[in-house]
Structure 1
Amino acid sequence: MSTTIAKDQPGEGRLAHADSDHPPIAPAKVGVVLANLGTPDNTDYWSMRRYLGEFLSDRRVVDYARWKWQPILQLIILTRRPFASGQAYKGIWNTELDESPLLTITRAQTEKFAQRMQALYGDDVEVDFCMRYGNPSTESVLNRMAEKGCKRIVFFPLYPQYGSPTTATANDQAFRTLMKMKWQPAIRTVPAYFDHPGYVRALAASVVDGCAGLDSAPSKLVASYHGVPERYLLEGDPYHCQCQKTTRLLREQLGWEKGDIDTAFQSQFGPEKWVGPATVDHVAELAKQGHKHIAVISPAFSADCVETLEEIKEEIHDSFMAAGGETFTYIPCLNDRDDHIDALVDIANNELGGWLR
């Protein structure tokens, strides 16, 4: 399949008529950047402190007044939390590559995605990935794309449900990078894709695969999403509503009855009231109600990370078992499943419309 890049003006990306002393310009390409949350560079105290400091200083994540929040963050939280977070990461760390599982998985997703783009568009599309926090940074990747001649970039936050602390802050960082560029590429940001048919089908297939081979089917599936303060919902953030709809679409795709899947929220932080129920408490309540075998899935995470591999598989698992549960099945994130990559490619192709033909 051959393609050409749609050009704004004759000769864009061609240097045939440039003066000999003109600075070199790479041939025009279109870029696609997959963006995920981020990862510390290592599990030691200072690596964790740098990562947590960047993450928890983001006003999209914690929007308290700086004069109130920064002293608490710098003097209390960042003094203690890097030790606990470092221990959590050590338990899931990819020791072979000396990196976090999120980085390993995102790279694998990008490699498969790039292969599909290559098959469709040849060398006209450049593919890379970045992290909102940590490395590879959004700024470094977008600058590299520009140097490679990407005059148009599709920026793809890998968050199925839109959230201010996730999708919005990833886009913020992309636009902050553009603010520093002399020659800005045109940029499109990919919207939430929680209701994309390919994504929903992949979720349902992962449930079927995750439960295949079990001695008995779980009596309840819990869809556990990352939590947000309830105030965000009241202020117009659609995340909570999109999570609820994701669960409904998943249930309908599976052909299950109402009540077979519950929605819950994890990773609460701080004194505010958060959307609920809290997963760690909900699974314990299920055990007390007689649900001795449950499964848990994390539809909001595109790749397994500390919130799934440590929090769900350990803390939430332990809460269920301590309350009388007997069998706890964790269904992995979609990661680099082929049906997941197919969905991401379909979504990206829609956003590339008019830029490639």
Structure 2
Amino acid sequence: MRIIIVGAGALGTMHAFEAVARGHEVVHLEREREARGASVRNFGLVWVSGRANGTELETALRARELWERIGKDVPGVGFRAIGSLTVCRTPAELAVAEHATAHGGERGFTLLDPERARAVNPALRGDFTAALHCATDAAVESRVALPALREHLLKSGRYTFLAGREVRDVKAGEVRDDHGDTHTGDHVVLTTGAWLGGLVRELAGELPVRRVRLQMMQTEALAEPLTTAVADGDSFRYYPGFDSPARDRMAAVQKQPEIAAAHKMQLLMVQRLDGGLTIGDTHEYDEPFAFDVVEEPYDHLAATAEAILGRPLPRVRRRWAGVYAQTLATGEIVHRQSIADGVLLVTGPGGRGMTCSPAIAETSAEALGW
């Protein structure tokens, strides 16, 4: 088959990867010169630990398996099976971690005391009560993974990447771009990320998808390895995999600091291959979103990270905001919608895009009969 894919973020690139792996020809269009949306503005975490039981966890575990395979075939994506430590600093957080350990199933949870946690990640020299270790969590290099995958695909001889092409019209088996070129194929897959207006609205109408804005930052190199990804106890609040009576009690007895509650914050931290730390994040749901970033959330994140590390952070080099699309359908991993015969819209993975994209693409391929 000949597959036309619109959008070169994580979802689009993984759909291209899946199509080529199944022996098909792919024409891949991206309106920017390089993807600039949520796929390159995230942590690069393959985050299994917080996924809800059922389809979401199954999808994340399958994607984790696929990411490891992809990492062996395409070393440039920077796949590392680093696991994660979620640091507990209060009795309420510890209770959530204890429940998760007892009911974690395939996530690979182990509850560690501080000494054992530091044996896993010696960089954590701050004060904490315990740490929830998840062996299945992993990371890729979000800023370079997609170009590395495209370079790999080009070697197949069955992949064409056309950057700077905004799509103007889509019909069954046909896409017209703003250069006036028409691309034909057996199937069209639209993976347009948080771009939900314009042509997407004309084709699909109003979608059961919302946009979410976040703020993040990256430091200069830490002077030692951060051997796992790191989260704080506030992350228990935002991931459905930790839903439990213990979490309900934590929400009742342990209020977030005002700034953290206002920005719906958690600490996530992962080390890049150059030694720098990517740190975040906040959540904003009400549009219109601000065009600027605000400093108070960064101050809170830095203080939390420093308390866990037990020392000052390296100098912050970059700050940014990003916007991703999140399906509102209960129990759905992503929003899929048939636009026309052989035309499929795939959007709204939420904060699961980098984690789950290989498995989402695999499911799309099977649904389309690739």
The answer to whether the superposition gives a TM-score over 0.5 is no
TM-score for the superposition, normalised by structure 1: 0.28
More strand by share: 2
Compare CA radii of gyration and give the structure with the larger one. 1
In the superposition, the TM-score normalised over structure 2's length comes to 0.27
Which has more helix, going by share of residues?
1
Q: Which has the higher contact order (CA 8 A, sep 6+)?
A: 2
